[in-house]
Structure 1
C-alpha cells in the first residue's frame, strides 16, 4: 500500500498537485484574494518549469534556479519574495502529503520598501468636501470613503463589505464582519466620522442589511470598481497617488506620530502579530521624532513642575 502511494506521488504532475492545493485552500475557506495570489505565483513558477513537470522532481536546486531565472528577468527582490511565498505554501503542502521530500525554502534578502503615505497637503485636497447638491453620488460617496479609510485604516475588502447595520452610532462602534484573518472585529467610531456617515446615510438611505458603500444602483461595490473610482477622484483633485491602501499606511503613521500605543494600533489594524506594526515604527522613526518632546515623560514633568530646574 505504501509503495503504491509513493508511486502515485511520483506520477503526480505539478498541475494535479496544484489542483489538490487549491481544493485544500477552498476547504480551509481561505480568502478569495489569497487564492488568486497563489494562482498568480503558480503561473510564474510554471512559466519557469519545463512542460509536463512532476512535483516529485522539484528540489532545492529547482527553487534556486527559479530565483536566478527571476533575477535574470530583472524582477525585484521584493517581487521575487512575493512569488516565493506563494510557491512555498504550495510546495510545503505537497511535502506534507509526501509528494516530494521535505526541504526548507528561504526568502532572498531584500531591502524594506518605504511605505508611501499621503502628505498633509494631499489630504487637505482630498478631504475638501464636494458640494453635495451639485456633485454626483459617486463623487460624494468617494469623499465619504476617503474619510472612512483615513479614520479607520480598514482594508478595501473590509470597506466594500460593510453594511448599514454595522455602524452603531448610539454606542460609537463599527463592527467589521469581513476581515483578512476572518475574525470579526469591533473598532471605535470617531466623532467626526460619525457625523459624516450620519449625513451620508440621509442620501444613501437603504435598509439595515444593505451595503454601506454602494454603487449608483444601491448594489455592492467590487474591489476594483472602488479602487478605480477613488483613483479618478484623487486625480481630479490633483493628487497622483491613487491607492486606497495608502490611507491604511497614513492612518498608522499619524496614529504613531500622535503618540498612539503600538499594541492598540495592532488591534485597530487587525494584525495577528506585532511584526507589521514594528515595520511602521521602523519606517516612520524619523517622523516620530516630530512630537517626541510633547509626549516624552521627562519633558512633560519639566513643563508641569516649576521646581525642576536644569543647570544653565
Structure 2
C-alpha cells in the first residue's frame, strides 16, 4: 500500500472517531512531513519503511528542523499511533511495525515560568497600547493574559471558552480539555471582575456579546494560531532571553505560583486537569513547599533533646 493512501486512511479514521480538529490537524502536519521525507528517500510504499527510516527522519528533524527531544518524541508518538493503527487493521503484518521497539529520546526536563518582571512588562505594555491606540486587540490580549495566569487553562481550552461556560455568580468556569473531557474549575473574585468588565466592553464595542469569550475584531471565535501569532508579536517587543513566550508558559507559571503558595498535589492536579498525577508531581517536586512544611511539623527530632 502507498504511504500517502495509508496516511489519508488513518486521518479519515481519526475524523470518523470524532477527534478534535486540532488533534487531526496535528496528525496531518506530522504525517505529511514524514511522508515528504520518505519521498525524498525514494520510499513510497509502506513495506519499504523500516525502523532505520524512522530514525533517519527523527535525526533530520533534530539537525535540519532544530527539533528538541520533546518535539521528536511527540513525532515518534504520532508515528507509533499511525503504525499501530495499520497493524490493528491488518494493513501491515503483525510484527512488521517499524516503531514497535523504538524507544523515546531522553528529555531534559526544564519548566520555564514568568517572573513578576515579565508579567508586569507585558501587562504594562498592553495597557499603554490600549490607552494610546484604543484598540480592541490590546484590551482582549490584556484580559487573556490575566485569564491564563489566573486559570492555568490550555490554549485550546482558552479559545473554546464560551460566555455560557463562565458562571460569574458562583465563580466557576467549565472548560473542554484534552480528549473533549469537560471540567469545572473555580476562578477568583479578581478574575471574575476582569471578565465582567471585559464582557461589558465587548457588548458596547460589538453591540452584542458573542458566543466566545476571546474573539476576533469581527466577534468570531479566535483561532489557536491567532493566539500564537499574538505571542510572537509580544516576543518581538520584549525579546525575553530566559523564557519562552507561549500559552503553555502561562500554564507553567500558574502551577509554579500555586506550588510556591503551598498548594497540595491533589488540588493542583484537579486545577490543571491532569489525568495522571505523575505530571502534577513533577511541579510539586520542583517547587512544592509542602514537603518542607510537613517535615518541619512532624520531624521526630522536634521533641527530642539532642
TM-score normalised by length of structure 2: 0.81
> CA, structure 1 residues 179+71, in 2 after alignment: closer, same or farther (shift >3 Å)?
closer
Q: Distance in 2 between matches of 1:141 and 1:273?
A: 33
Give the aligned partner of residue 111 of structure 2: 115
| Residue 177 (structure 2) pairs with residue 179 (structure 1) | yes
Give the aligned partner of residue 288 of structure 2: 288
Alignment of structure 1 residues 241-256 onto 2, 5 Å: 241-256=244-259
Moved more, 103-112 or 195-204: 103-112
Report if the CA contact (8 A) 2:202-2:209 is conserved.
no
Cα RMSD for the two superposed structures: 2.9
Report if the CA contact (8 A) 1:172-1:190 is conserved.
yes
Alignment of structure 1 residues 1-312 onto 2, 5 Å: 12-49=1-38, 50-51=41-42, 53-67=44-58, 70=61, 73=64, 75-101=67-93, 102=95, 103=97, 104-128=100-124, 130=127, 135-176=134-175, 178-205=176-203, 210-233=211-234, 236=237, 241-282=244-285, 285=286, 287-288=287-288, 293=292, 296-297=293-294, 299=296, 311=305
Moved more, 191-200 or 261-270: 261-270
More helix by share: 2
> CA, structure 1 residues 72+133, in 2 after alignment: closer, same or farther (shift >3 Å)?
closer
Indicate the structure (1 or 2) with the bigger Cα radius of gyration: 1
Report if the CA contact (8 A) 1:41-1:84 is conserved.
no
> CA, structure 1 residues 47+259, in 2 after alignment: closer, same or farther (shift >3 Å)?
same
Report if the CA contact (8 A) 1:235-1:242 is conserved.
no
Tell me by how many angstroms 1:26 deviates. 0.3
The alignment covers a number of residue pairs equal to 289
Tell me by how many angstroms 1:85 deviates. 1.3
> CA, structure 1 residues 263+182, in 2 after alignment: closer, same or farther (shift >3 Å)?
same
> CA, structure 1 residues 310+207, in 2 after alignment: closer, same or farther (shift >3 Å)?
farther
Could you tell me which runs of 5 or more consecutive residues in structure 1 were left unpaired when the two chains were aligned: 1-11, 303-307
SS in structure 2 at match of 1:181: helix
> CA, structure 1 residues 70+216, in 2 after alignment: closer, same or farther (shift >3 Å)?
closer
Q: Distance in 1 between matches of 2:19 and 2:25?
A: 10
Tell me by how many angstroms 1:278 deviates. 3.0
